């Protein structure tokens, strides 16, 4: 049996796959998927499923609506850009209460990232359909789709990571002209500085989004000299003098850089670093000036490093100072986030790309796309972060699901390598990849592969712990200031309906400090959770507890949380 | 051709002798209540043997799949309840297959032995198919092709399950038959239709043997379908050609699928209901006591068999199946380590057939690594990945033929084979009821093949031949050594003597199409 298809038709399909209008389809599809998933998340109450999601909304909200509004409310731990971007949206109460303020920022980041993944795929392969395949791998990833519907900061980082990588790779290609076979046009060759500046700017944005961005700009800065090394000269010297003598000769005669290149390199590196490192320097300055310690983000009681100490005491930091385990954790985490099938295809694709290209540009591309992997492995190894994932975390641990979303940062790299492999293999290989992609979605649909980022938000340690008190507050709160430890998340501000202007938390000076001496001074309500800052500051102090019970009445009791309301009779006696 | 026939004849005879030497059995019909038959090492030590056998007895005595209370207690805990009636947890193929052999054996007071031996026939068939695939498809040399068969048959833990009525032997046979037929189909013109039939039939029947076979055989079916299609350049058009024989012969698959659906509908009231998702009946469990079948059915409700699989378990499952001391394939069959080298060589000159064989192993390991019980309960070695053992055995031969230092490789293979066959024979002669480490530690028991060594030294075996014909004169250890020596000598001949004959190059002729 034979089915005949006109070659003309095939050519038309091929032409369609290479159409410049494909980018319009990319935009439309990305916007559609972003909105669709956000609506789903909203309908199921998943937008603020993460404990951190609410905190990411509260920070910008405090900047504009708070007892003590101002930029100092940005704090000194989490980097400020995602919160700054949310400010216009959290001002609208509906967007703040639903979490959509964060979803808008994450959604736009997702859309921009997906467009540039398409562009990067196209740029590397000169094949629009390869870019489209990379784009599809990125935008159909359920973990990415879920995260882009939340106020979490990963989508913002991914956006700036992709943008910075895209321009850095374009810069590298121009800078490496003549070192490999690919020809570039005259117009492109004049854009070297422009691309570097754009890479630097977006690197700067990444560096004030998440700490991963710091590593990105550091690696990019380190790659600039590497790009300008005259490799061709080395090989001829080594060929003539032999390996050892050749290397010694290169060092002795300073052949590693020509004077002309060295001057240019100096200029470009300074240009890149000035803007790219501005965020890092600025953050040190901010912490020093506002919080009194340039290393506040690292040393304060709220920092990740200090939090890891608690895990260390429980002997539950398996990856710390153990490189293979750190590697294993992030490897498996990446696999769980990007999908086990796509992960394997990307592994093959990256190996294939490196072997086939074997040039400096391929090296730069691979290093840049692998930055999240290297950063996270180092971070786990140093004990600066922790990931618990059921595949590897021992059953004896109290929690086996935590911070799994970090693996999503490798999705852009995976998408690019899948796209590359797809365009470069034969028809049967393409069919096989298509079949495997269907298998991947089948694994998700059957529940075999979980949407790990969502699972962590619902059942993992990253999930917001709802004590039930917010429901009670929603129906009983009738105005007045509420003293609470927001860091301990004793009550959800979003869920309880308490206006942010009525909250006294540790960042409201002098309200907080004075309330810790005289709880009745400002607060109409006090929410205390076992072992939180209010508990430690007031409830465990006999004198202050006496004052608490003198001026307040306990109106809500649960195993974890107590709510006190100002005793109106005592209040009227004090303020007749 | 004569060489090929002789080789097949040798494998059949050798297979019969070896499997008979280790076959578990007792005189008579071995019905529930027969003394000692459910003890360790004996033919019904595991519910995995009792459950399909109970269905066989029910079919013969009552002409129905439903088990009586007595048979359900015998088959427990691999029994499900549906509408107050008891059914085996396993699909019916094994139970139905052994019926004629049981009845034939009954005439000679060897009903159970004959029934069990009928399962060994599939393993013998697998030996032949491995030889044929090695020789014809992969174009390996005569000696190496026979050696590949021997590796799978007697140097992997597949042996332990060939001397009893587990489903794995049947699964491997159908898998290899489907692959070989699909390959023959791809190279045949006139007889393509005839070769397509066993592919569809094997796939259809495999679901009656074990439900996961639908997934395990999938790579063969992908290979089969792709081999039936062709893209042709027809001037201004492209032609997508599909062999009609594959379309027409698929009627056999549809018939079998329909039959399966009908079986489910009639037995469990729904064409989609599989026996292994029925509420479990465990006669010995404390929670079962004093409850009616209706109550048990309510209590033990399950939702879906998909819940048994999860990506979360892949890493620990893969560790367990591959390298764990209590179950790992490379611990129980170190000879298969050589196959990894063979895969590397094979991938350098990869073909669709090679990729399919690798995919078969990968899918098998991937599937059961995700399974909630990768250990396969109390079992000897990683029984769930016996199909992968068959796939990997091909690559042992490829490594032998392709490794630059031929003699060094052959010496290494010989040593690993001796160790693997020793381990394999140990399980086959003693017991399959070996606890996984997680349970063994808790129960303060040994695990891995160390557990079986005690049985060997105590002389405890279920081997029908040994218990009835050799026990008087030989200790079990002597019997074990005797069989092992035969295997080692055979391996020596195949690895070192065969290449000396004309036409058997030590260099090998590794040049598959």
pLDDT in tens, A462-490: 999 887 898 999 999 999 999 999 888 88
Token pair of B291, please? 């409850």
**In contact, B459 and B476? CB cutoff 8 Å:** yes
Q: What angle do CA B397, B485, B433 make, to 5 degrees?
A: 85
For residue A403, the SS3 value is coil
Please judge whether B236 and A8 are an interchain contact, meaning their C-beta atoms are less than 8 angstroms apart.
yes
Position A179 pLDDT exceeds 70: no
Contacts of A361 (CB under 8 A, 6+ apart): A169, A172, A173, A176, A179, A180, A182
Token pair of A76, please? 């000194």
Contacts of B118 (CB under 8 A, 6+ apart): B97, B98, B100, B101
A431 pLDDT band, cuts 50/70/90, is confident
Locate the chain B residue with the closest alpha carbon to A432: B222
Of B217, B210, B216, the C-alpha closest to B274 is B210
Contacts of A520 (CB under 8 A, 6+ apart): A547, A550, A551, A552, A566
pLDDT in tens, B410-453: 999 999 999 999 999 999 999 999 999 989 999 999 999 999 99
B507 pLDDT band, cuts 50/70/90, is very low
Averaged pLDDT for residues A101-125: 97
pLDDT in tens, A346-375: 999 999 999 998 888 999 999 999 999 999
Please judge whether B241 and A1 are an interchain contact, meaning their C-beta atoms are less than 8 angstroms apart.
yes
Residue with token string 């999938």: B218
Please judge whether B232 and A2 are an interchain contact, meaning their C-beta atoms are less than 8 angstroms apart.
yes
Burial of B40 from C-beta contacts in 10 A (0-12 / 13-18 / 19+): middle
Which residues of chain B make contact with A7, given a CB cutoff of 8 A? 236-238
Nearest CB among B244, B307, B311 relative to A450 is that of B311
Give the phi and the psi of residue A564 in degrees, each rounded to 5. -115, 140
Strands of the sheet containing A503-504, edge to edge, are: A503-504, A481-483, A523-529, A561-566, A552-557
Position B510 pLDDT exceeds 70: no
pLDDT in tens, A13-28: 888 888 888 899 999 9
For residue A483, the SS3 value is strand
Which residues of chain B make contact with A8, given a CB cutoff of 8 A? 236
Separation between Cα atoms, residue A534 and residue A505, nearest integer Å: 10
Token pair of B411, please? 């010496």
Q: Residue A462's pLDDT is what?
A: 93
A4 to chain B, minimum CA–CA distance in Å? 4
**In contact, A470 and A492? CB cutoff 8 Å:** yes
Q: Is the backbone peptide bond immediately before B509 cis, with ω within 30 degrees of 0? A: no
**In contact, B243 and B43? CB cutoff 8 Å:** no
pLDDT in tens, B356-393: 999 999 999 999 999 988 998 999 999 999 999 999 99
Please judge whether B226 and A2 are an interchain contact, meaning their C-beta atoms are less than 8 angstroms apart.
no
A447 to chain B, minimum CA–CA distance in Å? 8
Query: How many other C-beta atoms are found inside a 10 Å radius of the C-beta of residue B395?
Result: 27
Q: Residue B259's pLDDT is what?
A: 94
Give the phi and the psi of residue A566 in degrees, each rounded to 5. -60, 130
Please judge whether B241 and A2 are an interchain contact, meaning their C-beta atoms are less than 8 angstroms apart.
yes
- Which of the 8 DSSP states describes residue B467? I
Q: What is the mean pLDDT of chain B?
A: 90
Locate the chain A residue with the closest alpha carbon to B246: A1
Nearest CB among A7, A391, A431 relative to B236 is that of A7
Token pair of B126, please? 């697998």
pLDDT in tens, B281-317: 887 776 666 667 766 666 666 655 566 788 888 888 9
Nearest CB among B241, B306, B315 relative to A447 is that of B306
Q: Residue A49's pLDDT is what?
A: 95
pLDDT in tens, B223-273: 999 899 888 888 888 888 898 999 999 999 999 999 999 999 988 888 888
Q: How far apart are the two ends of chain B, measured CA to CA in Å?
A: 20
Q: Residue A112's pLDDT is what?
A: 97
Separation between Cα atoms, residue A327 and residue A375, nearest integer Å: 11
Position A546 pLDDT exceeds 90: yes
pTM above 0.80, yes or no: yes
Please judge whether A7 and B315 are an interchain contact, meaning their C-beta atoms are less than 8 angstroms apart.
no
Q: Residue B237's pLDDT is what?
A: 85
Nearest CB among A6, A336, A435 relative to B311 is that of A336
Position A511 pLDDT exceeds 70: yes
Gyration radius (Cα) of chain A, Å: 27
Q: Residue A89's pLDDT is what?
A: 97
Q: What is the mean pLDDT of chain A?
A: 91
Give the phi and the psi of residue B242 in degrees, each rounded to 5. -120, 130
Averaged pLDDT for residues B397-408: 89
For residue A482, the SS3 value is strand
Contacting B with CB below 8 Å, chain A residues are: 1-8, 10, 332, 336, 340, 390-392, 427-428, 431, 435, 443, 446-450
Q: Residue B344's pLDDT is what?
A: 92
Q: Residue B267's pLDDT is what?
A: 87
Of B487, B318, B503, the C-alpha closest to B414 is B487
**Sign of the C-alpha dihedral computed for residues B382, A334, A304 and A273 taken in this order:** positive
Position B486 pLDDT exceeds 90: yes
Q: What angle do CA A276, A279, A285 make, to 5 degrees?
A: 140
Q: Residue B513's pLDDT is what?
A: 36
Q: Residue B506's pLDDT is what?
A: 44
Separation between Cα atoms, residue B6 and residue B341, nearest integer Å: 30
Contacts of B236 (CB under 8 A, 6+ apart): A6, A7, A8
Between these two residues, B153 and B500, which has the higher pLDDT value? B153
Of A142, A195, A137, A198, the C-alpha closest to A170 is A195
Which residues of chain B make contact with A2, given a CB cutoff of 8 A? 232, 239-242
Beta-carbon contacts below 8 Å between A and B = 62
Q: Residue B304's pLDDT is what?
A: 58
A517 pLDDT band, cuts 50/70/90, is very high
Position A506 pLDDT exceeds 60: yes
Q: Residue A570's pLDDT is what?
A: 67
**In contact, A114 and A134? CB cutoff 8 Å:** no
Gyration radius (Cα) of chain B, Å: 23
Query: How many other C-beta atoms are found inside a 10 Å radius of the C-beta of residue A321?
Result: 11
Cα distances (angstroms) measured from residue B129 to each of B7, B175, B176, B180 = 12, 10, 6, 7
Q: How far apart are the two ends of chain A, measured CA to CA in Å?
A: 98
Q: Which of A299-308, B33-42, B420-429 has the highest mean pLDDT?
A: B420-429
Please judge whether B312 and A4 are an interchain contact, meaning their C-beta atoms are less than 8 angstroms apart.
no
Parallel, antiparallel, or unpaired: how do β-strands A552-557 and A561-566 relate? antiparallel
Nearest CB among B240, B247, B310 relative to A448 is that of B310
Locate the chain B residue with the closest alpha carbon to A429: B352
Averaged pLDDT for residues A299-316: 86
Position A397 pLDDT exceeds 80: yes
Of A403, A406, A408, A407, the C-alpha closest to A388 is A403
Query: How many other C-beta atoms are found inside a 10 Å radius of the C-beta of residue A298?
Result: 16
Q: Residue B261's pLDDT is what?
A: 93
C-alpha A470: how far from its chain's center? Answer: 28
Q: Residue B230's pLDDT is what?
A: 85
Residues of chain A by 3-state class (helix, strand, coil), percent to 5: 65, 5, 25
Best residue in B315, B371, B437 to probe A by mutation, most A CBs within 10 Å?
B315
Please judge whether A8 and B240 are an interchain contact, meaning their C-beta atoms are less than 8 angstroms apart.
no
Please judge whether B315 and A391 are an interchain contact, meaning their C-beta atoms are less than 8 angstroms apart.
yes
> Hey, which residues does A482 pair with through a beta bridge?
A503, A525
Residue with token string 């085996």: B88
Contacting A with CB below 8 Å, chain B residues are: 222, 226, 231-232, 234, 236-244, 247, 306-307, 309-316, 370
Averaged pLDDT for residues A275-300: 94
Q: Residue B269's pLDDT is what?
A: 84
Which of A220-229, B134-143, B310-319, B500-509 is least confident? B500-509
**Sign of the C-alpha dihedral computed for residues A527, A531, A533 and A539 taken in this order:** positive
Query: How many other C-beta atoms are found inside a 10 Å radius of the C-beta of residue B60?
Result: 15
Please give the helix or strand (H or E) that residue B5 lies within, else none.
Answer: helix B2-22
Q: Residue A11's pLDDT is what?
A: 84
C-alpha A427: how far from its chain's center? Answer: 36
Contacts of B224 (CB under 8 A, 6+ apart): B178, B182, B185, B196, B199, B246
B464 to chain A, minimum CA–CA distance in Å? 43
Q: What angle do CA B465, B469, B470 make, to 5 degrees?
A: 95
Q: Residue B40's pLDDT is what?
A: 87
Which residues of chain A make contact with B243, given a CB cutoff of 8 A? 1
**In contact, B509 and B176? CB cutoff 8 Å:** no
Q: What b/e sequence results for A446-455 when a residue is b if at least 16 CB atoms lie within 10 Å of its CB, and e otherwise?
A: eebbbbbbbb
A69 pLDDT band, cuts 50/70/90, is very high
Token pair of A41, please? 């998340």
Position B168 pLDDT exceeds 90: yes
Query: How many other C-beta atoms are found inside a 10 Å radius of the C-beta of residue A495?
Result: 19
Separation between Cα atoms, residue B369 and residue B375, nearest integer Å: 9
C-alpha B18: how far from its chain's center? Answer: 16
Q: Residue A182's pLDDT is what?
A: 60
């Amino acid at each position: 049996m034979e089915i005949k298809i006109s070659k003309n038709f095939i050519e038309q399909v091929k032409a369609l796959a290479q159409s410049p209008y494909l980018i319009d389809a990319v935009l439309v599809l990305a916007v559609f998927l972003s909105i669709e998933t956000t609506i789903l998340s909203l309908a199921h109450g998943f937008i603020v499923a993460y404990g951190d999601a609410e905190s990411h909304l509260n920070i910008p909200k405090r900047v504009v609506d708070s007892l003590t509004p101002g930029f100092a409310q940005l704090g000194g731990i989490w980097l400020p850009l995602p919160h700054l971007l949310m400010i216009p949206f959290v001002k609208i109460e509906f967007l703040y209460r639903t979490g959509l303020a964060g979803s808008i920022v994450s959604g736009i980041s997702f859309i921009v990232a997906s467009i540039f993944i398409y562009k990067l795929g196209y740029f590397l392969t000169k094949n629009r359909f390869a870019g489209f395949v990379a784009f599809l791998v990125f935008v159909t990833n359920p973990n990415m789709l879920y995260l882009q519907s939340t106020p979490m900061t990963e989508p913002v980082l991914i956006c700036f990571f992709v943008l910075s990588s895209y321009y850095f790779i374009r810069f590298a290609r121009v800078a490496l002209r003549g070192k490999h076979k690919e020809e570039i046009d005259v117009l492109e060759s004049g854009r070297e500085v422009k691309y570097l500046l754009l890479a630097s700017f977006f690197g700067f944005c990444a560096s004030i989004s998440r700490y991963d961005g710091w590593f990105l700009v550091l690696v990019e800065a380190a790659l600039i000299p590497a790009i300008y090394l005259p490799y061709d000269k080395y090989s001829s010297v080594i060929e003539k003098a032999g390996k050892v003598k050749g290397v010694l000769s290169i060092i002795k005669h300073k052949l590693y850089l020509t004077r002309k290149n060295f001057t240019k390199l100096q200029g470009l590196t300074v240009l890149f670093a000035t803007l790219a490192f501005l965020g890092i320097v600025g953050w040190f300055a901010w912490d020093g000036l506002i919080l009194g310690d340039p290393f506040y983000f690292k040393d304060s009681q709220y920092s990740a490093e200090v939090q890891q100490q608690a895990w260390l005491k429980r002997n539950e930091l398996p990856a710390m100072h153990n490189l293979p385990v750190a590697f294993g954790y992030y490897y498996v985490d990446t696999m769980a986030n990007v999908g086990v099938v796509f992960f394997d295809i990307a592994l093959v694709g990256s190996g294939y790309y490196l072997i086939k290209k074997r040039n400096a540009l391929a090296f730069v591309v691979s290093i840049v796309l692998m930055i999240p992997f290297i950063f996270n492995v180092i971070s786990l190894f140093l004990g600066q972060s922790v990931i618990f994932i059921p595949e590897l975390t021992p059953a004896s641990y109290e929690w086996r699901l935590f911070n799994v979303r970090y693996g999503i940062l490798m999705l852009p790299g995976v998408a690019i390598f899948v796209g590359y492999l797809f365009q470069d293999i034969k028809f049967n290989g393409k069919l096989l990849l298509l079949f495997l992609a269907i298998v991947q979605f089948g694994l998700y649909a059957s529940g075999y592969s979980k949407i790990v980022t969502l699972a962590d938000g619902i059942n993992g340690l990253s999930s917001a712990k709802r004590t039930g008190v917010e429901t009670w507050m929603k129906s009983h709160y009738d105005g007045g200031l509420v003293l609470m430890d927001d860091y301990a998340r004793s009550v959800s501000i979003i869920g309880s309906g308490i206006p942010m202007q009525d909250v006294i938390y540790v960042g409201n000076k002098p309200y907080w400090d004075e309330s810790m001496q005289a709880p009745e001074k400002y607060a109409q309500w006090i929410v205390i959770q076992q072992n939180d800052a209010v508990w430690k500051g007031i409830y465990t102090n006999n004198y202050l507890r006496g004052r608490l019970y003198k001026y307040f009445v306990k109106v809500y009791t649960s195993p974890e949380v107590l709510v006190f309301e100002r005793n109106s009779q005592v209040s009227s006696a004090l303020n007749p | 051709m004569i060489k090929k026939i002789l080789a097949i004849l040798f494998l059949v005879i050798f297979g019969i002798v070896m499997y008979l030497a280790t076959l578990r059995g007792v005189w008579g019909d071995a019905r529930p209540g027969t003394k000692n038959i459910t003890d360790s090492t004996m033919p019904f030590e595991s519910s995995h043997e009792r459950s399909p056998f109970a269905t066989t007895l029910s079919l013969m005595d009552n002409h129905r799949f439903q088990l009586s209370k007595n048979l359900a207690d015998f088959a427990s805990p691999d029994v499900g309840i549906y509408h107050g009636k008891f059914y085996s947890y396993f699909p019916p193929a094994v139970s139905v297959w052994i019926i004629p052999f049981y009845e034939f054996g009954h005439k000679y007071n060897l009903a159970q032995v004959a029934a069990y031996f009928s399962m060994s026939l599939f393993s013998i068939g697998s030996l032949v198919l491995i030889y044929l695939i090695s020789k014809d498809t992969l174009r390996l040399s005569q000696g190496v092709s026979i050696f590949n068969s021997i590796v799978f048959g007697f140097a992997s833990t597949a042996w332990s399950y060939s001397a009893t009525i587990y489903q794995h032997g049947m699964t491997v046979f159908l898998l290899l038959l489907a692959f070989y037929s699909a390959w023959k189909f791809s190279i045949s013109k006139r007889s393509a239709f005839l070769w397509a039939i066993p592919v569809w039939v094997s796939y259809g029947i495999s679901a009656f043997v074990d439900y996961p076979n639908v997934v395990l055989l999938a790579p063969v079916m992908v290979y089969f379908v792709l081999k039936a299609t062709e893209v042709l350049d027809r001037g201004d058009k492209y032609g997508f050609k599909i062999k009609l024989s594959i379309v027409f012969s698929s009627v056999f698959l549809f018939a079998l699928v329909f039959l399966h659906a009908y079986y489910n509908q009639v037995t469990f009231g729904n064409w989609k209901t599989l026996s292994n998702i029925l509420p479990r009946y465990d006669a010995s469990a404390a929670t079962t006591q004093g409850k009616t079948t209706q109550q048990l059915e309510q209590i033990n409700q399950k939702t879906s068999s998909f819940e048994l699989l999860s990506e979360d378990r892949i890493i620990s499952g893969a560790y367990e199946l591959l390298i764990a001391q209590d179950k790992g394939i490379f611990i129980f069959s170190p000879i298969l380590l050589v196959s990894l080298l063979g895969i590397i060589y094979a991938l350098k000159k990869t073909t669709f057939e090679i990729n399919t064989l690798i995919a078969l192993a990968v899918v098998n390991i991937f599937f059961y690594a995700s399974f909630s019980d990768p250990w396969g309960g109390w079992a000897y070695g990683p029984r769930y990945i016996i199909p992968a053992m068959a796939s990997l055995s091909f690559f042992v031969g490829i490594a032998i033929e392709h490794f630059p230092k031929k003699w060094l490789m052959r010496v290494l293979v010989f040593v690993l084979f001796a160790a693997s066959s020793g381990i394999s024979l140990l399980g086959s002669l003693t017991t399959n009821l070996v606890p996984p480490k997680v349970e063994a530690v808790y129960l303060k028991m040994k695990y891995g093949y160390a557990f079986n060594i005690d049985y060997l030294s105590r002389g405890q075996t279920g081997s029908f031949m040994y218990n009835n014909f050799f026990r008087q004169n030989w200790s079990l250890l002597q019997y074990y050594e005797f069989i092992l020596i035969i295997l080692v000598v055979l391996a020596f001949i195949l690895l070192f003597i065969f290449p000396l004959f004309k036409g058997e190059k030590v260099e090998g002729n590794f040049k598959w199409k």
